[in-house]
Amino acid sequence: MAKETLLTSEAFVKSVSSISENVAGKYVCPSIREAQDVSFRRVIGDTLLAKLKALVADGSINTEENMAYKTLLDRAQYFIAYSAIVEVAQKVTYKIANAGVVKTPDEKVEVVTQEDLAAVRFYYQSKADNACIDLQNFILNNWRDYPELTEGDYNRVRATLKSAASCGIFLGGARGKGAPKCGR
């Protein structure tokens, strides 16, 4: 199996949050993978994500000709990190074992309630949503630098710019209105 390319590091995710240094990588790394391959992919599209991963994997992201991609990746760090933290909070609170879904509190540690966990996840999801709007604005202002950004990806970013906040229900929207055309 090919080595997985992560676009941010476990150390960065821990540095921008209240995650303890001793949280195992087996919780953080899958959360980073999910954040980049699900949440970040929704913002930039499959093709641009594949390009970033390839540049990171082969080390050419730091070359002069790839500075636009490096800038995009740098701008995306907080979005990916906060999106990963939302996942980490759930993963470290509850584990699936042979006995079912379990909590494993230490004798001096109290596990948070479901409501408290939801509040922590909401906090970091709000931070991710804010970073997402900044990232979307950056992409729209610099779309010419990324030929992998398809017209469909551009239109999707533009159409969701005013509603980047996460929500579990559909809040409506204009019916029969097409997304604005790409200025290409």
Is residue 19 very low, low, confident or very high in pLDDT (cuts 50, 70, 90)? confident
Q: Which of 138, 165, 45, 30 is nearest to 85 (CA)?
A: 30
Q: Is 125 exposed, middle or buried (0-12, 13-18, 19+ CB in 10 A)?
A: buried
Find the mean pLDDT for residues 99-108.
66
User: What does the DSSP 8-state code read for residue 108?
Assistant: T
Is residue 36 very low, low, confident or very high in pLDDT (cuts 50, 70, 90)? very high
Is residue 167 very low, low, confident or very high in pLDDT (cuts 50, 70, 90)? low
User: What does the DSSP 8-state code read for residue 95?
Assistant: E
Find the mean pLDDT for residues 165-175.
52
Q: What is the pLDDT of residue 181?
A: 52
- % of residues, the chain, pLDDT over 90: 46
Distance CA 74, CA 80 (A): 10
Asked if residue 32 has pLDDT above 60, the reply is: yes
Q: What is the pLDDT of residue 166?
A: 64
- % of residues, the chain, pLDDT over 70: 80
43-47, 66-70, 140-144, 169-173 — most confident range: 66-70
Q: What is the pLDDT of residue 50?
A: 95
Q: Which of 42, 3, 30 is nearest to 132 (CA)?
A: 42
Q: What is the pLDDT of residue 131?
A: 92
Question: Which helix or strand (DSSP H or E) is residue 102 part of?
Answer: strand 100-102
Residue 56: CA count within 13 A, CB half-sphere:
19
Q: What is the pLDDT of residue 154?
A: 86
Residue 150: CA count within 13 A, CB half-sphere:
11
3-state secondary structure 54-101: HHHHCCHHHCHHHHHHHHHHHHHHHHHHHHHHHHHHHHHHCEEECCEE
Residues 74-88 as b/e (b if ≥16 CB within 10 A, e otherwise) read ebbbbbbbbbbbbbb
Find the mean pLDDT for residues 140-162.
86
